[in-house]
């Protein structure tokens, strides 16, 4: 679960075939992406925001 600057949280799962994130299955892979910027899908004006 990523905690975003805007206060929202985002699940980052490896769930093929829709999402290919093999780095989430190992501690080493997850530590490599810590601190990277993610776009908040709920704050994006082009998407529906189902939850506050």
Domain-by-domain residue ranges, the chain? 1-52
10-residue mean pLDDT profile of the chain (52 residues): values are 89 77 90 88 71 52
Note the pLDDT of residue 14.
Answer: 76
Note the pLDDT of residue 16.
Answer: 67
Note the pLDDT of residue 31.
Answer: 93
Q: Report residue 17 as tokens.
A: 């075939």
Note the pLDDT of residue 26.
Answer: 92
pTM over 0.75: no
Cα(5)–Cα(17) distance, integer angstroms: 29
DSSP string, 17-52: TTB--GGGGSHHHHHHHTT-----TTT-TTS-----
């Amino acid at each position: 679960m990523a905690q975003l600057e805007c206060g929202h949280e985002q699940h980052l799962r490896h769930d093929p075939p829709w999402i290919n994130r093999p780095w989430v299955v190992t501690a080493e892979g997850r530590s490599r992406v810590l601190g990277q910027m993610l776009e908040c899908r709920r704050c994006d004006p082009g998407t529906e925001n189902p939850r506050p």
